[in-house]
Structure 1
Amino acid sequence: MQGSAAEQKDLPGWPPAVEARGQSRRLPDFLQSVNLKYVKLGYHYLITHLLTLLVIPVMVVILVEACRTDPNDLWQLWIHLQFNLVSILVCSAVLVFGTTVYVMTRPRTVYLVDYACYRPPDHLQVRYTQFMEHSRLCGNFNESALEFQRKILERSGLGEETYVPDAMHYLPPRPSMAAARDEAEQVMFGSLDKLFRNTGVKPKDVGILVVNCSLFNPTPSLSAMIVNRYKLRGNILSFNLGGMGCSAGVIAIDLARDLLQVHRNTYAVVVSTENITQNWYFGNRKSMLIPNCLFRVGGAAILLSNRSADRRRAKYRLIHVVRTHRGADDKAFRCVYQEQDDDGKVGVSLSKDLMAIAGGALKTNITTLGPLVLPISEQLLFFAALVAKKLFNSKVKPYIPDFKLAFEHFCIHAGGRAVIDELEKNLQLRPIHVEASRMTLHRFGNTSSSSIWYELAYIEAKGRMRRGNRVWQIAFGSGFKCNSAVWQALRNVKQSPGGPWEDCIDRYPVQIIDWIPASQH
């Protein structure tokens, strides 16, 4: 039963009668109804599979023509080949020689067999109230410095379960060389014990050892401490990287990769950590107080291999490492700088220009990385936008490549909440892409160069890592440096036994808010 136009106008869900008559025969407004991201995905699919779409028709034509070929023509071709046996042998020899040279000189695949992150004991956890009360009672900070630390903690994104070294739990604190060695041993040996236990690899089988720790470099070195503890073989290639900041973990991976290209059938162990005990700042310069609020105890041990037999059990293979160093610029060089304050107290000063410098380093890094990982569709769009900007209008906004088309997972160094926020915004990432970074910062704080491994462990613990997935690890460090490592999963990866998220992953993700207990306000 149909009603009048006036009746239809009054019914819920019906358009006005005039609009119904005027627009009944019009097509929908596709600009409003079609989400442009799907158009972009279609374009990406077309360009990515363009070669396949062109080759298939050519193959079909070749097959059709082959079916139409006269059998006598095929017989004549066979006779022709018989009379040119020498040419065939020469071509075969060249082909075999070329194949042999390629196999012998091609880069060896580097596999990530497994890794282990250190989980400190619960008695080293520090809550907001405990941190602030301890800072007040130690007597080194004035009221302005205490208030500044409170504000930093409030906006830091750290939770109530991060860890500080044992020496910092005393009143007064007891930073000493012995305490710093104890911290280093607990972190390094704790992660290595777990790594060797999970992989079944004997320490004697390790041929390469790379250790990175920026601020604690005793004699004998940290790498020598590991050699002594595990009785590694006498001809081991050991390296100790110091003073290279939070991006040194990727540098250590790159060094191990280069060594694995030279030495066949070898295991390489990389240990990434930082030491807080002797590097806690007890002064009142605000730019040097920030590390106290953000840096926490942590470390990771990574087992790499170039043995083809390890492919079956390996978690990932290393695809690319891209390193960017801005040390030639004075501002970049000094933006993270260890120095003494006016009272002679040593600490690490963070410049106000840090975020801008990090952004410039990231831009340079992704400009190099982009052509290696982005699909051709994104590269064409970027090039077209660049040409348009140069030729037609300098005000045209530069096209930001969609790195979500190149990577399924992102491990952004958990250097602080602002770092994660800026990368999420500038790379146009979704909240799930930065979830691992935010939750690592909340649960473990800034563990320096090892933070990207806690983030990877988070993704695995959530069951999100699938075979073929690509992971982008991004790290920033003093100097100033921005380094990237790209991995590809070789299987559906699950978290290893004793992982850092093993007993708490079900509580995450949590909502991050600016908060500190009311008793501290």
Structure 2
Amino acid sequence: MAAYLQNIATAVPDQIYQQDFLRDKMKEYLSDDRATRSIIHRIYSQSGIEKRHTVVNDFNANGDPRLFFQQDGSVAAPSTGTRNSLYSEHAKKLFVDVARSLITDTPDIEADDITHVITVSCTGFFAPGPGYEIVKQLGLSRSTQRFHLGFMGCFAAFPALKMAKSFCDSQDDAVVLVICLELCSLHFQRSRETDHLISASVFADGGAGALVSNRTPQNNQTVYKLDRFATSIIEQSEDDMAWTIGDTGFDMILSTYVPELIESNLQSALKPLLEAYDTNKDQINHWAIHPGGRAILDKVEKNLGLEVQQLASSRSVLSDYGNMSSATILFVLKHLLDQPMQQSPERVLGMAFGPGLTVESGLFLKQRG
């Protein structure tokens, strides 16, 4: 039985900051020496990011209380509780907005058709959870099954899609919403350590969702057929990408060594994936790589010998949105889904990297109904 990703919807906070504006503000607030200012300037200028969305509006506060960057020039370190309260306030709306768009914009799908809701996030918690909010606010059936994947990081969309496919494989009438929502900017750390500066330069806020079902696409609709998924772990790398809860927010460790770790281990990690997919690198039309940072995309492109256009969607999403953790790969897949097809089907290999260092991937067949 075939499972199809029939639609992808995205949502971002209204507040937008240009990357060069944030670069200059970071230099102003966090550095009082030339060396640190130079590091900040280089990190931000070479990030491959033009702008990012955030729920933090410190620089447009108009007299309202600021979260981090105070008017007297100091940088606050709000408690984890304060940050999580803001997460709950903003995340509920964005989760529901994405789910509403998926239902409204998918042909022949109504609220009553939804059988499962899978929500994903690693940047906050509340209960009743986001699945409950979606069911309640959109009037879904009270019997809708709800699942939440938490604290998995940037690769979490893949386990969620895997779960959705399993539901469709076992239930003919399954119609599954997968919603990934991250508010990474709430966990900014006022540290001058290079790893923290890198995290602050790339992470952003946004949500994205996918609607998955067994329904055969109609009326020339362009969809992804979910083919296969695979997982691989890069050994002795767990200290280079980690996510822990502290007293002043969640502490993301994103080592400067991550791009090199990915480059040196990509071929060995990719080999079992391609074997699982019964394909080879040259048969992949598009690569939907999670844009954790420009250096990661550069290393993947060089290591795999890819053409520039094969990573165009990943670079476009990085430029326009930054790294939104688990939601980001769905932005990339949507960008690719919206592009004109040169043939049918087209093979798309999606890949994301997260704590572990874990490599999650999926093979998607882009095709018309």
* TM norm. shorter chain > 0.5: yes
Given that 1:168 and 1:277 are in contact with CA atoms closer than 8 Å, whether structure 2 keeps it comes out as no
The answer to whether the Cα contact below 8 Å between 2:10 and 2:209 also exists between their aligned partners in 1 is yes
Q: Distance in 2 between matches of 1:347 and 1:194?
A: 32
The residue type equivalent to 1:337 in the other structure is A
Q: Which has the higher contact order (CA 8 A, sep 6+)?
A: 2
Q: 1:149 to 1:203 in 2, by over 3 A?
A: farther
Match in the other structure for 1:64: none
Match of 2:71 in 1: none
Residue equivalent to 1:431: 308
**Cross-structure match for 2:223:** 315
Over 3 Å counting, the alpha-carbon distance change for 1:345 and 1:120 in structure 2 is closer
Structure with greater proportional strand content: 2
Secondary structure at the residue paired with 2:172?
A: coil
Greater Cα radius of gyration, structure 1 or 2: 1
Matched, 1:258 2:170: no
- Among 176, 185, 204, the residue aligned to 2:92: 185
Query: Which residue is equivalent to 1:224?
Result: 132
Does residue 128 (structure 1) correspond to residue 19 (structure 2)? The answer is yes
Q: State the 1:253 CA deviation.
A: 0.4
Counterpart of 1:440? Answer: 317
Find the partner of 1:455 among 332, 353, 364. 332
Q: How does 1:186-225 map to 2 (within 5 A)?
A: 186-200=93-107, 201-225=109-133
Normalised to the residue count of structure 2, the TM-score between the two structures is: 0.85
1:88-129 C-alpha deviation (Å, 9 max, x unpaired): xxxxxxxxxxxxxxxxxxxx21111111122443xx111234
Is the Cα contact below 8 Å between 2:120 and 2:180 reproduced in 1?
Answer: yes
Alignment partner of 1:112 is 2:5: yes
User: Which letter maps to 2:18?
Assistant: R
**Please, which of 204, 212, 218 is the counterpart of residue 304 of structure 1?**
212
- 2:180 match: 272
Q: Distance in 1 between matches of 2:222 and 2:32?
A: 52
With normalisation by structure 1, the TM-score equals 0.61
Local SS of the residue matching 2:195 = helix
Specify every segment of 5 or more residues in structure 1 that has no aligned partner in the other structure, as ranges.
1-107, 376-400, 493-521
Task: Name the CA distance, whole Å, in 2 between partners of 1:263 and 1:361.
Answer: 38
1:154 maps to 45
In the TM superposition, 1:284-299 aligns within 5 A as 284-299=192-207
Q: Which runs of 5+ in 2 are unaligned?
A: 69-81
Larger mean Cα displacement after TM superposition, 266-275 or 215-224: 215-224
2:242 aligns with 337
Give how far 1:333 is off: 1.8
Single out whichever of 197-206 and 289-298 deviates more from structure 2: 197-206
- How far apart in 2 are the matches of 1:243 and 1:294? 19
Q: CA deviation at 1:304?
A: 0.3
Closer/same/farther in 2, CA of residues 418 and 129 from structure 1, 3 Å limit: closer
Asked whether 1:173 is paired with 2:173, we answer no
Cα distance in 2 between the residues matched to 1:226 and 1:292: 30
Identity among equivalent positions (%) equals: 21
Q: Secondary structure at the match of 1:215?
A: coil
SS in structure 2 of the partner of residue 333 of structure 1? coil
Q: Aligned equivalents of 1:238 and 1:439: distance in 2? A: 33
Contact persistence 1:247–1:449 (CA under 8 A): yes
Structure 1 residues 168 and 272, CA gap change in structure 2 (3 angstroms):
farther
Find the aligned partners of 1:235 and 1:310 in 2 and give their Cα distance.
28
Is the counterpart of residue 471 in structure 1 residue 365 in structure 2?
no
- How much has 1:414 moved relative to structure 2? 0.9
CA distance in 2, matches of 1:140, 1:305: 48
Greater percentage in helix: 1
Deviation at 1:140, TM superposition (A): 5.6
* Larger deviation, residues 255-264 vs 219-228: 219-228
Aligned amino acid, residue 196 of structure 1: I
In structure 2, the residue corresponding to 1:334 is in which secondary structure? coil
1:417 corresponds to 2:321: no
Matched, 1:163 2:53: yes
Structure 1 contact 191–301 (Cα < 8 Å) conserved = yes
Q: Is 1:165–1:276's contact at 8 Å kept on the other side of the alignment?
A: no
Which residue identity does 1:358 align to in structure 2?
I
Q: How many residues align?
A: 350
Structure 1 residues 259 and 320, CA gap change in structure 2 (3 angstroms):
same
User: Secondary structure of the equivalent of 2:156?
Assistant: helix
**Quick one: structure 1 residues 321 and 311, their matched pair in 2 at CA, closer, same or farther if it must change by over 3 Å?**
farther
Q: Is the 8 A contact 1:244 1:479 kept in 2?
A: no
The answer to which of 209-218 and 459-468 deviates more is: 459-468
Return the offset for 1:339.
Answer: 4.6
Q: Aligned pair in 2 of structure 1 residues 423, 228: CA closer, same or farther (>3 Å)?
A: same
Contact kept in structure 1, 2:230 and 2:276, CA below 8 Å: no
Q: Per-residue deviation at 1:312?
A: 6.8
- Are residues 190 and 347 of structure 1, via their aligned partners in 2, closer, same or farther at CA, if it must alter by over 3 Å? same
Matched residue type, 1:349: I
Aligned partner letter, 1:422: K
